[in-house]
Structure 1
Amino acid sequence: MANGGARLSIPQENPAVPPPRQSPVANANPPPRYTTAPREIESLIDSFRSANAFTRQEREMCFRSLFNLMTSSDEDEEGSSPFKDMISRLNRRALLKMASLMTSYSDSYFLKIARDKNGCNSLQELLGKSHDVDACFLGSILRRFFDVMTDRHAYCVAVQGMRVFSQEKKIEMWSHVHHHALDLACDQRGCIALKAIITVSDNSYWRNYLIGMVVLNALSLSYDAYGNFVVQHVLDLNDLRHTYNIAVRLQGRFVELSFLKYGSYIVEKLLETHDCSSVMVVAELLECEIDSLLRMTRGFHGNSVVVKALSVTQMIRADLFWGLVHKLMPSLHILRGCQESRNIAEILESVC
């Protein structure tokens, strides 16, 4: 028995002419989801308990009823629902028949449920029930791995599998995670899934191997609109070794990254470490051309980096703090004259 676990708007052709005012529509709320009737639920239970194989017509009718039941939001205050009640009445063989219905005939059945918010939650209730049931879902996850991991809801099923699957099944999952890691990191949804896997993993070897891939590719990921979130996530783990290795990978690019929205977040996180990684960032600020440093002070994102560097070094390294002060002080009149950099001028004036 496997272990259980917690679970654009369209532009107007003539913008000068306002569109006609629409009359309010009564009952504008979307219609409620179809609710599976008790008799239909009993029919489902009988079908799953039966030793007879589904005919094609029975399979399609049964899946339609099961889909409606699994995607229903009928849940009481105590968290009970018709679907949970149903699976509590099924033995392992019946649960396996239900899992097979969703996975053996077409992975589109599985994806249709997994891509629905309620359906995703229902699927997670089934994981960890038995090795055979888990094997069915693992097969569908692996066959449509990238589709699952880049979907708004479906990735949660895979993440739950990483929690409750047996070690052998987790290793199969890890093989696919590592193979698709960089593509997932650069995907809007995939980066969320990758962060979640790093968070929930209980296997330090495979987890560190994945983090190592992120560290190795930290430079390209830091420039990516979504990959940078994965780098930030690794930094948020507060592991000194991983943080230092990321800093080494980004060395020579701290100033450039500071001009970018998400890149500046990474630089600030490195400064917040108060260790050799933050020293590497400040050293680069001290070595850069004064024009670059002044441009940073006038930019929204770069300004935050300079302020962070001053506040951190004032606490932990007086020599680096005064190095930044002396580098900026000759340009104090410029800093005062620009609204964006006035906050830095105030810091300099407060210490001199």
Structure 2
Amino acid sequence: MAMSHNNPFSMPTLFDALERIRLSEETSARLIKLHNLMTSEECESQFRDIISNSKADDPEALPKLVSLLTSDSDHFMKIVRNEHGSKRVQKLLGISDDVDALLYAAILRRFLDIMTDKYASHVAIRAMLVFDTMEKFIMYNHVLYHGLDMARTQYGCIALNEVITDVGDPCYRKLLLDFVACNAVCLSNDPSGNFVVQHVLTLNDSVCTYNVAVGLFGHCVDLSFKKYGSYVVEKLLEAEESRDVVVVELLECEEDKLVRLARNEIGNFVVLKALKVTRGDRFDLFGDLVHKLKPIRDLLVRSHGSKIANFLEAY
């Protein structure tokens, strides 16, 4: 009677299993060598030689190398999270369509992990500059989808700011700025996210600046008590499009809360800045602010608000 190949202990099945183990071990060994090539400081010249030789002698060599590089997502992440690995993967971008296609797929598979890592994020940002329009747009869509998660991490907020700065398409630029404005409250209250709001306020986009201010109206006083939030509010005070929104909120603030803000070690800077920026061309708002602060001046003298008290003394 013939031995069934469905039997897990049959000779063909055992041979197949042994062959798979052998191939797996070979692949693991190749991945280890590749990891060393991509991440070791001593392998820089060897890496450059491989790129040069593949262009001249063997056009298929580099796609094969990148195919192995991107064959395992976890292995790929280990390489791009390494400083040298990130730089070398960036050098692979734009060499050929085949290489770009492999790297594009690998980046999308772990997009959020890559965009929130100190070194890996540079690979994706570089890719958005190198890839063709359609691939760029798909990556921009991923940025919009993962934007909040990116913005609220130490390195993700930096990556998001770079994308916003570099995006060349007017439509996607507007979408990204609108995204920040719509989420301004959440981001401004976050230790990392506030840097994204601050960043868009430095781009001199009047519509975005106004939209951020409107989105934060009713929250500016509370933000002014926080170190990172106060930076956002001060930037709003620096722009004509948003200054009045902040000042109006200060004018509508209850006296007790305004006293606490003006005496606060952080908040006093916001109040003082509001006085200084309105003193010039918005004398109506300046007068209203002085009128509101004058009755509480004596409460500010022996506090962090002493500079406000000194300022008010002249009016």
Shorter-chain TM-score category? 0.7 to 0.9
User: In structure 1, how many angstroms separate the alpha carbons of the residues matched to 2:34 and 2:281?
Assistant: 61
How far did residue 116 of structure 1 move? 0.5
Per-residue CA deviations over 1:61-94 (Å, capped at 9, x if unaligned) read 333222222212349xxxx743223212113321
What's 1:118 paired with? 84
How far did residue 208 of structure 1 move? 1.6
The answer to whether structure 1 residue 346 and structure 2 residue 313 are counterparts is no
User: In structure 2, how many angstroms separate the alpha carbons of the residues matched to 1:100 and 1:337?
Assistant: 68
Give matches, 1:304-315, under 5 Å. Answer: 304-315=269-280
The answer to whether structure 1 residue 97 and structure 2 residue 64 are counterparts is yes
Picking from 23, 27, 39, the partner of 1:59 is 27
Please state which structure has a larger fraction of its residues in helix: 2
What's 2:264 paired with? 299
Give matches, 1:1-352, under 5 Å. Answer: 55-74=23-42, 81-91=45-55, 92-104=59-71, 106-273=72-239, 275-338=240-303, 340-349=304-313, 351-352=314-315
Q: Which has the higher contact order (CA 8 A, sep 6+)?
A: 1
What's 1:48 paired with? none
Q: Any idea what SS the aligned residue of 2:271 has?
A: helix
Verify the 8 A CA contact 2:39 2:82 in the aligned structure 1: yes
Cα RMSD (Å): 1.9
The answer for unaligned runs of 5 or more in structure 2 is: 1-21
TM-score, normalised relative to structure 1: 0.78
Sequence identity, in percent?
49
User: In structure 1, how many angstroms separate the alpha carbons of the residues matched to 2:235 and 2:281?
Assistant: 16
What's 1:4 paired with? none
Alpha carbons of structure 1 residues 70 and 295: separation in structure 2 relative to 1, 3 Å: same
How far did residue 278 of structure 1 move? 0.1
What is the total number of aligned residue pairs between the two structures?
A: 291
Comparing 162-171 and 183-192, the one that deviates more: 183-192
How far did residue 59 of structure 1 move? 3.3
Per-residue CA deviations over 1:31-87 (Å, capped at 9, x if unaligned) read xxxxxxxxxxxxxxxxxxxxxxx9544433333222222212349xxxx74322321
TM-score, normalised relative to structure 2: 0.87
User: In structure 2, how many angstroms separate the alpha carbons of the residues matched to 1:253 and 1:56?
Assistant: 57
User: In structure 2, how many angstroms separate the alpha carbons of the residues matched to 1:74 and 1:326?
Assistant: 68
How far did residue 164 of structure 1 move? 0.6
How far did residue 331 of structure 1 move? 2.1
User: In structure 2, how many angstroms separate the alpha carbons of the residues matched to 1:55 and 1:202?
Assistant: 45
Per-residue CA deviations over 1:118-143 (Å, capped at 9, x if unaligned) read 11111101011111101101111111
User: In structure 2, how many angstroms separate the alpha carbons of the residues matched to 1:321 and 1:211?
Assistant: 30
